[in-house]
Amino acid sequence: MKVGYYQFRPLFGKIRHNTNKVVNALQDVKADLIVLPELAFTGYYFQNKNELKSLAEDPAKSSTVEALVKLCRKNYFHLVTGFAEKSRDKIFNSALLIGPDGIEHTYRKLHLFNEEKKYFDAGDIPLQVNTVKEVKVGMLVCFDWVFPEAMRSLTLQGAEVIAHPSNLVLTFCQEAMITRCLENRVFAITTNRFGTDKRPHGELKFTGKSQIVAPGGVLVQRAVSQREALFITEIDPAESHQKNITPMNDLIEDRRPEYYQNLIN
Amino acid sequence: MKVGYYQFRPLFGKIRHNTNKVVNALQDVKADLIVLPELAFTGYYFQNKNELKSLAEDPAKSSTVEALVKLCRKNYFHLVTGFAEKSRDKIFNSALLIGPDGIEHTYRKLHLFNEEKKYFDAGDIPLQVNTVKEVKVGMLVCFDWVFPEAMRSLTLQGAEVIAHPSNLVLTFCQEAMITRCLENRVFAITTNRFGTDKRPHGELKFTGKSQIVAPGGVLVQRAVSQREALFITEIDPAESHQKNITPMNDLIEDRRPEYYQNLIN
């Protein structure tokens, strides 16, 4: 399976520009699954809910999604992208799994980061694993990384690869994802954006360093911070089936769920 | 609160020697809580269950425990130590919380590492938090670190400090504990041993690098690998009450347990 990330700098509010940028960058790429950043088309740092409302879209009526589906069809690959998703009167910080036939799954960020809480609604559908060319792919968005339960839940559902669109402003995630891939023995593709959203109410700088980590916590590749980066590599998802960290320790079978009860109370 | 670790090299099977070593090293130490390595008195690399049986002790009848209680009484501190615990027909890889009045709690390692499974029984009592001079202390033993559920469970029970006796042979734990202290915002004292257990059936080298990590994943101090190290420092356990990683994100309140149900099934 050929997987990769496209780290770029979306321009705030310039949906058409950002869509063209992605479509152009991926025009001739051969891959099976490419992960884009969180909120890849709208930009990130909204002033308020009204501004978000004016930029968020119903994926079913979005010309961006239409362009991405067309791209997937042309190149016969799948994309996971962050997307400001309008759904009736709610707006979610979502990740879309898009293939040649359209949107295959929508994940709505369960753990909103900081000011996102002012204008996004918290995710309201269960964590789920989807199949992409026979590979089981789970989605997380950015700040979900800090809650070990999220990636664990996907692992327990059989995820082999975690697609993780991000707009990271802190610096902890990359190292933590190594721990996550060690404890779960799955692949993770964390795609971050770079650049700064300079807005009237303030500015946020994003930290780049998109990365792919293999089971066992092995860093496959990490981008630099402030530069565009398209990276594609071949992985063997079956590596994630090997849950043994020692000859006698399967990290999933060795769990003692009867002693973890207070995690869900 | 003054906490610390004593990293040393137990000699295999030399319980009296190892006990004297610890008692001498801590004779004049002023502290509130000191953490010793896993299986600090027997050594680690048993050939088989019979050998372990010949070295494990009922803590209530152990002259080592007696010496440690006396030390706690003299110096008015608490110890957490790894201990090969005989209990009727079972033997556990345990951590004992010992104070001036005796053993205050026994934690039995829930997640056995590799060949330990051949001769230890898996822990059979719930993770629990105990109070040491008004500070809430949770115990884990070594390989428990790789299961995020273990430290999470203690955190949700109010743990401020995790005492973590270890006999690490792999090199992942120290970095992973930084992630653990970031995601849970608690203190962790990981005490590892150093040196090698050279036995007829093979040898194991232990990796030292005992460490103390503060909430937020801040490394307070880390020992070198192959050298004795007694380290005591002042911490403010109340730092662990501050669960915010951003102004709007409390890492405990922001959890979405309704979406973590499969972690306990």
Q: How far is A176 from chain B (nearest CA, A)?
A: 6
Which member of A21, A86, A109, A209 is catalytic? A109
Residue A212 has pLDDT above 90, yes or no: yes
On the question of pLDDT at A185 being above 90, the answer is yes
Cβ contact (<8 Å) for A147 and B255?
A: yes
Q: Which two tokens stand for residue A154?
A: 């996907």
Contact B175 A179 (CB under 8 A): yes
- Cα pseudo-dihedral A245, A250, A252, A255, rounded to 10: -100
Q: Tokens 């460490």, residue?
A: B211
- Please give the single-letter amino acid code of residue B148: P
Q: Report the distance separating Cα A142 and Cα A193, nearest Å.
A: 11
pLDDT score, position A189:
98
Please determine, for residue A113, whether its predicted confidence score (pLDDT) is greater than 90.
Answer: yes
Asked whether B217 and B179 are in contact (CB, 8 A), the reply is yes
* Cβ count near B158 (within 10 Å): 13
In single-letter form, the type of residue at position B195 comes to G
CA atoms within 13 A on the CB side of B25: 21
Q: How many domains does chain A have?
A: 1
Domain span at B86 = 2-264
Does residue A265 have a pLDDT over 90? no
Give A218's contacts in chain B (Cβ within 8 Å).
Answer: none
Q: What is the mean pLDDT of each run of 10 residues along chain B (265 residues)?
A: 98 98 98 98 98 98 98 98 97 98 98 98 98 98 98 98 97 96 98 98 98 98 98 98 97 98 94
pLDDT category of residue A186 using cuts at 50, 70 and 90: very high
Using alpha carbons, select from B31, B27, B136 the residue that is nearest to residue B76.
B31
Determine whether the interchain pair A146/B257 forms a contact, defined as Cβ–Cβ distance below 8 Å. Answer: no
Which element (helix H / strand E) includes B51? Answer: helix B49-55
A41-70 pLDDT per residue, tens = 999 999 999 999 999 999 999 999 999 999
CATH number at residue A250: 3.60.110.10
Report the DSSP pairing between strands B2-7 and B33-35. Answer: parallel
In single-letter form, the type of residue at position B169 comes to V
Q: Residue A160: which of A214, A240, A245, A80 has the closest Cα?
A: A240
The answer to whether the Cβ–Cβ distance between B110 and A245 falls below 8 Å is: no
Of A127, A148, A178, the CB nearest to B148: A148
Q: Residues of A with CB below 8 A from B126's CB?
A: 259
Q: Quick one: which of A144, A59, A88, A27 has its CA closest to A41?
A: A59
Query: Each residue of A120-151: pLDDT tens digit?
Result: 999 999 999 999 999 999 999 999 999 999 99
